[in-house]
């Protein structure tokens, strides 16, 4: 499933609830949560916060978000060994990641990139898109159209 | 096996596992030793968490184990006294190589005393914390004859000093995590970590001190902790750490006193939770 066909309107529709959920999880003011905020660098998220955010988003949007989904989907048809070697993202993987995380400013992508550092790239918009993809997947599985935010 | 006995006697709060469905429900029991002075609710929650951890480790073939992380809610429904037997149950909601999510309950005489709602624990390599073979052997014992009850000698009261704050608004204290304590032999043998439930207990002590400064509720002798929610543990606490604990009133009315408790190491927030106090019955 691609990120490219997700519209700005769809993103803005889910953003308020995503922002409120993140503010709750991170114990910060919702005004601090911007669409382009980096979760780690701007909002101070740590690894446990990612788990917290995913579970809160699941409950807020009533979708199932498999952990590790972002990296798995970014990898696409690349095998794990094509995507990274020894924990470092390969050149092909790097390009795939840049295309998939197209909401992340290009200057934030630094090569070499460790797989463990991929979450440093994630912005609030990354999670908005993840929610939208899961809503679409749930709607498709149910045989209906797009789910409301 | 004396070494194994000392290991698990230190902080293991499940005596017997009576039902273990792979990735599903797990049930067990724990007899609270008669010789203990008290058995706080945080240890009851620990017992439920340990039961869920056994179930998770069994599914993950003892390659990985959960550690404390998040809890949506922990209801503190009734006190538990030494000599009582906890009937424990947990339901794994999800489990993978990264995290386990579960809910659970502890009952005494068929009455719920502590209920855990949607807890999430990160899942980490067992070998970093403990001997996988010893854990495997222990689970076999728990599922067969069960462990001999009564070995646990309790935990020291939290060492809280340097109390300050503003009466009835915010209360702070420094928690001195012991450098050495018996429970570190079990939590964990290869990487001693101050248990999250003991940190929660210390936080509850600070919050309780704060509520003693609040106006007495109508129809109650005082305030008693009823629910801990939005619990998040963000870091491991090693032995000997000194942490700043703070409890602040968020909302106060005749029915409830809502507090926010936080633990900090310097500027870093180590843990955070909300604690709801309600009027204590028996006026």
Residue with structure tokens 């200057």? A107
- What residues have CB less than 8 Å from B243, skipping those under 6 apart? B174, B175, B177, B199, B237, B263, B264, B265, B270
Cβ of residue A55 closer than 8 Å to a chain B Cβ: yes
CB contact under 8 A, A67 and B98: yes
Mean pLDDT of the residues in chain A? 88
A24-50 per-position pLDDT tens digit: 999 899 999 999 999 999 999 988 999
Question: How far apart are the C-alpha atoms of A4 and A16, rounded to whole Å?
Answer: 21
Cβ of residue B99 closer than 8 Å to a chain A Cβ: yes
Asked whether B261 and B272 are in contact (CB, 8 A), the reply is yes
User: Which residues make beta-bridge pairs with A81?
Assistant: none
A44-95 per-position pLDDT tens digit: 998 899 999 998 999 899 998 876 677 787 888 888 889 998 889 999 999 9
Question: How far apart are the C-alpha atoms of A39 and A26, rounded to whole Å?
Answer: 9
Which of B96, B234, B260, B261 is the best substitution to test chain A (most A C-beta atoms within 10 A)? B234
Enumerate the residues of chain A whose CB falls inside 8 A of the CB of residue B101. 55
pLDDT, residue A2, reads: 54
Nearest to B270 by CA among B175, B144, B168: B175
Question: How far apart are the C-alpha atoms of A9 and A138, rounded to whole Å?
Answer: 19
pLDDT, residue B283, reads: 43
Nearest CA in chain A to B71: A52
Interface A-B, measured as beta-carbon pairs within 8 A, has a size of 33
Q: Which helix (H) or strand (E) holds B164?
A: strand B160-166
Question: How far apart are the C-alpha atoms of B204 and B147, rounded to whole Å?
Answer: 30
Q: Is the pLDDT assigned to residue A149 strictly greater than 60?
A: no
CB contact under 8 A, B234 and A46: yes
Residue with structure tokens 């709801």? B276
| pLDDT per residue rounded down to tens, chain B (283 residues) | 546 677 888 899 999 999 999 878 999 999 999 999 999 999 999 999 999 999 999 999 999 999 999 999 999 999 999 999 999 999 999 898 889 999 999 999 999 999 999 999 999 999 999 999 999 999 999 999 999 888 899 999 999 999 999 999 999 999 999 999 999 999 999 999 999 999 999 999 999 999 999 998 887 889 999 999 999 999 999 999 999 999 999 999 989 999 999 999 999 999 999 999 999 976 4
pLDDT, residue B42, reads: 97
Look up the ipTM and state it: 0.78
Candidate from B98, B230, B233 with C-beta closest to A68 = B98
Query: By three-state DSSP, how is residue B136 classified?
Result: helix
Enumerate the residues of chain A whose CB falls inside 8 A of the CB of residue B234. 46, 48-49
Cβ of residue A148 closer than 8 Å to a chain B Cβ: no
**Residue with the larger pLDDT of the pair A138 and B4:** A138
pLDDT, residue A4, reads: 60
Q: Is the pLDDT assigned to residue A144 strictly greater than 70?
A: no
Question: How far apart are the C-alpha atoms of A118 and A108, rounded to whole Å?
Answer: 11
Candidate from B122, B230, B272 with C-beta closest to A51 = B122
Kindly state the tokens that stand for B131.
């001997």
**How many angstroms away from the CA of A1 is the closest CA of chain B?**
23
pLDDT, residue A77, reads: 85
Q: What is the Cα A131 distance to its own chain's centre? A: 8
Candidate from B70, B96, B233 with C-beta closest to A67 = B96
Residue with structure tokens 């939770």? B273
φ, ψ (nearest 5 deg) of residue B269: -80, 120
Distances (CA, A) of B186 to B166, B197, B274: 38, 14, 28
Query: By three-state DSSP, how is residue B272 classified?
Result: strand
What DSSP assignment string belongs to A38-85?
BTTTTT---HHHHHHHHHHHHHHHT----TTHHHHHHHTTS-HHHHEE
Q: Using only C-alpha atoms, what is the Rg of chain B?
A: 18
Asked whether B93 and B66 are in contact (CB, 8 A), the reply is no
Nearest CA in chain A to B268: A44
**DSSP code for A5:** T
CB contact under 8 A, A55 and B118: yes
Distances (CA, A) of A40 to A45, A65, A122: 5, 20, 8
**B140-147 CB contacts, 8 Å cutoff, 24+ apart:** B142/B14, B142/B15, B142/B16, B142/B17, B142/B28, B142/B54, B143/B17, B143/B20, B146/B15, B146/B16, B146/B17, B147/B8, B147/B12, B147/B14, B147/B15, B147/B16
pLDDT, residue A3, reads: 61
- For chain A, helix (H) and strand (E) counts, in that order, are 6, 2
Asked whether B135 and B55 are in contact (CB, 8 A), the reply is no
φ, ψ (nearest 5 deg) of residue A118: -55, -40
Cβ of residue A48 closer than 8 Å to a chain B Cβ: yes
Asked whether A124 and A15 are in contact (CB, 8 A), the reply is yes
Enumerate the residues of chain A whose CB falls inside 8 A of the CB of residue B99. 51, 67
pLDDT, residue B3, reads: 61
Write b or e for each residue in B254-263: b if 16 or more Cβ atoms lie within 10 A of its Cβ, otherwise e: eebbbbbbbb
φ, ψ (nearest 5 deg) of residue B84: -85, 160
- Residue A145 banded pLDDT, cuts 50, 70, 90: low
Instruction: Please state, for a pLDDT cut of 70, what percent of chain A lies above it.
Output: 92
């Amino acid at each position: 499933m691609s990120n490219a066909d997700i519209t700005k309107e769809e993103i803005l529709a889910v953003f308020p609830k995503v922002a409120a959920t993140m503010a709750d999880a991170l114990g910060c003011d919702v005004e601090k949560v911007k669409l382009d905020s980096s979760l780690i660098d701007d909002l101070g998220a740590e690894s446990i916060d990612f788990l917290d955010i995913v579970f809160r988003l699941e409950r807020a949007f009533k979708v199932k978000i498999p952990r590790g989904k972002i990296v798995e989907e970014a990898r696409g048809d690349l095998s794990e060994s094509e995507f990274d070697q020894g924990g470092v993202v390969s050149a092909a993987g790097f390009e795939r990641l840049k295309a998939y995380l197209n909401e992340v400013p290009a200057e934030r992508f630094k090569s070499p990139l460790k797989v463990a550092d991929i979450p440093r790239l994630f912005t609030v918009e990354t999670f908005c898109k993840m929610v939208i993809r899961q809503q679409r997947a749930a709607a498709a599985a149910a045989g209906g159209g797009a789910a409301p935010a | 096996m004396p070494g194994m006995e000392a290991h698990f006697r230190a902080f293991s709060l499940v005596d017997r596992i009576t039902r273990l469905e792979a990735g599903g429900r797990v049930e067990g029991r724990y007899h609270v030793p008669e010789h203990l002075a008290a058995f706080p609710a945080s240890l009851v929650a620990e017992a439920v968490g340990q039961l869920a951890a056994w179930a998770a480790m069994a599914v993950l073939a003892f390659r990985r184990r959960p550690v404390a992380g998040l809890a949506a809610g922990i209801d503190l429904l009734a006190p538990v006294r030494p000599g009582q037997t906890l009937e424990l149950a947990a339901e794994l909601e999800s489990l993978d190589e990264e995290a386990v999510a579960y809910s659970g309950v502890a009952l005494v005489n068929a009455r719920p005393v502590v209920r855990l709602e949607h807890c999430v624990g990160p899942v980490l390599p067992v070998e970093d914390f403990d001997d996988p073979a010893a854990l495997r052997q222990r689970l076999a014992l728990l599922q067969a004859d069960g462990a001999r009850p009564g070995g646990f000698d309790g935990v020291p009261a939290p060492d809280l000093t340097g109390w300050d704050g503003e009466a009835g608004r915010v209360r702070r204290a420094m928690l001195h995590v012991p450098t050495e304590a018996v429970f570190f032999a079990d939590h964990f043998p290869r990487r001693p970590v101050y248990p999250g439930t003991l940190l929660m207990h210390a936080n509850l002590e600070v919050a309780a001190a704060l509520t003693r400064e609040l106006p007495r509720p109508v129809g109650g002798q005082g305030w008693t902790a009823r629910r801990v929610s939005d619990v998040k543990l963000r870091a491991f606490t090693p032995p000997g750490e000194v942490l700043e604990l703070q409890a602040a009133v968020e909302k106060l009315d005749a029915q409830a006193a809502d507090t926010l408790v936080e633990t900090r190491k310097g500027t870093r927030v180590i843990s955070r939770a909300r604690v709801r106090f309600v009027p204590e019955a028996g006026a």
